[in-house]
Amino acid sequence: MTKKLNSGTLCVQGGWQPKKGESRVLPIYQSTTFKYETSEQMARLFDLEDSGYFYSRLQNPTVDAVGAKINALEGGVGAVMTSSGQAANFYAILNICQSGDHFVSATTIYGGTYNLFAVTMKKMGIEVTFVDADAPAEEIEKAFRPNTKALFGETISNPGAAVLDLEKFATIAHKNGVPFIVDNTFATPINCRPIEWGADIVTHSTTKYMDGHASAVGGVIVDSGKFDWTKYPDKFPGLCTPDDSYHGVTYTERFGLEGAFITKATAQLMRDFGAIQSPQNAFLLNLGLESLHVRMARHCENGLAVAKFLKSDDRIAWVTYPSLEGDKYYDLAQKYMPQGTCGVVSFGVKGGREMAERFMGNLKIAAIETHVADARTCCLHPASATHRQMNEDELVAAGISGDLVRLSCGIENADDLIEDIKQALDALN
């Protein structure tokens, strides 16, 4: 499928391309293993000399077809599907970092990712320094060390809805000889394609807008193929020197810049960790992707309508929504996401944390859930849920106040959503 097609067409037609007599709908290859006629054929697969399938822990035709669709949407050269968004971010970092290495990340990221970076990866000997994404480039660069291997951020932060200056981050990363990795979950490639702004690697929790129906957990890593690992062979030995665990293959030599990163992630990390997306989940995800371009427009429409209402109500202390004129991140949103951002609105209810929790309990349409970016409207109090592992200083650095409510606007009628919010506020009196 050509990348010249518009994103809406790629959502529907990308990935699976049936031949004569084959299923029009993406088939589910519900098999762990695949048959071959000779041992030599199998050996060539294990030696990465032939392409094909031999075990679904590494690759599966259904899963790969969905990965190909997302890769086309993002404008990459290859993708690997994972079991979750957490697995995608973990693999993206671990594919280039090892014990003794360091990377830099924006502070304003999802709480689960923050914990993964700050706690779990630290136990593996990989350190992270968190930086204020809005700080001048010179300040951010101070966090870099000789052993720094990557710069990470989120296109739109979860839950604070801060917009990352993609060009600034890309420039900083490349000036310091490291790839820029960006989590594009909230914006999706419908509203933003980070690779076009200098990103080298893009990740997603496909559980969110891409699936869109709270039915399938998953993640994906997309490689731009543009970062030249071979310019820094000492910095990225995993890609530029022989892999003793895989017959001495040097990924950059065998697969070039466009294939090295994804091949290593598949052949090495999937082999050892096995956090593959299941064929069933990939099938469900593909159904969600077919309507992504339609749903995102409605999510954004509803998000803006709700944000405008909240801003006009004197019972609301503050509102953050990047597409709302006057928002701190409005100009960046217009630059990177002129068609819209997402459906997530962050705001504070006057009266602080207690009043915010009471307000959420009064909602009828919007459900209190851990989930976000669903066809159904939901809400969450991040400080006591997704980010409760953070201390007060970490919450402040991440832009999460005690009164913050994250409202994820679904694709219902906007008037009904606004009426639900109004009655929930009225019930506080």
Tens of pLDDT, residue by residue, the chain (429 residues): 445 899 999 999 999 999 999 999 999 999 999 888 888 888 787 778 788 888 888 899 999 999 999 999 999 999 999 999 999 999 999 999 999 999 999 999 998 999 999 999 999 999 999 999 999 999 999 999 999 999 999 999 988 899 999 999 999 999 999 999 999 999 999 999 999 999 999 999 999 999 999 999 999 999 999 999 999 999 999 999 999 888 889 999 999 999 999 999 999 999 999 999 999 999 999 999 999 999 999 999 999 999 999 999 999 999 999 999 999 999 999 999 999 999 999 999 999 888 888 999 999 999 999 889 999 999 988 766 555 555 556 666 656 667 889 999 999 999 999 999 999 999 997
Number of domains the chain is built from:
2
Give dist(CA 140, CA 152) in Å, integer: 12
Answer for the pair 59, 33: CB distance below 8 angstroms, yes or no: no
Residue 331 lies in a domain: yes
Residues in a beta bridge with 202: 182, 222
Residue 118 lies in a domain: yes
**Angle formed at CA 168 by CA 209 and CA 90, multiple of 5 degrees:** 50
Q: Provide the pLDDT for residue 1.
A: 44
Q: Write down which residue in 287, 315, 342 finishes a domain.
A: 287
Are 211 and 136 contained in the same domain?
yes
The CATH number of whichever domain residue 54 belongs to comes to 3.40.640.10
Give dist(CA 80, CA 77) in Å, integer: 11
For residue 6, is it left (φ>0), alpha (ψ between -120 and 50) or beta? beta
Are 261 and 357 contained in the same domain?
no
Residue 3 lies in a domain: no
Are 132 and 214 contained in the same domain?
yes
Are 109 and 162 contained in the same domain?
yes
Q: Which domain holds residue 81?
A: 10-287
Q: Provide the pLDDT for residue 55.
A: 83
The CATH number of whichever domain residue 363 belongs to comes to 3.90.1150.10
Q: Write down which residue in 242, 265, 287 finishes a domain.
A: 287
- Token couple for 194: 């980070």
Q: Provide the pLDDT for residue 382.
A: 75
Q: Provide the pLDDT for residue 396.
A: 60
> Model pTM?
0.94
Residue 149 lies in a domain: yes
Residue 2 lies in a domain: no
Rounded-to-10 torsion of CA 81, 86, 91, 96: 140
Residue 98 lies in a domain: yes
Pairing of strands 78-82, 219-223: antiparallel
Q: Write down which residue in 287, 313, 348 finishes a domain.
A: 287
Are 195 and 335 contained in the same domain?
no
- The CA-atom distances, in angstroms, between 291 and each of 72, 82, 218, 275 are 16, 21, 17, 26
Q: Provide the pLDDT for residue 4.
A: 81
- The CA-atom distances, in angstroms, between 141 and each of 144, 157, 293 are 5, 21, 36
Residue 70 lies in a domain: yes
Are 243 and 298 contained in the same domain?
no
Are 214 and 132 contained in the same domain?
yes
Are 356 and 393 contained in the same domain?
yes
- Classified as helix, coil or strand, 5 is coil
- Token couple for 371: 């989930």
Q: Provide the pLDDT for residue 392.
A: 58
Are 90 and 225 contained in the same domain?
yes
Give dist(CA 39, CA 196) in Å, integer: 44
Nearest to 170 by CA among 156, 155, 159, 158: 155
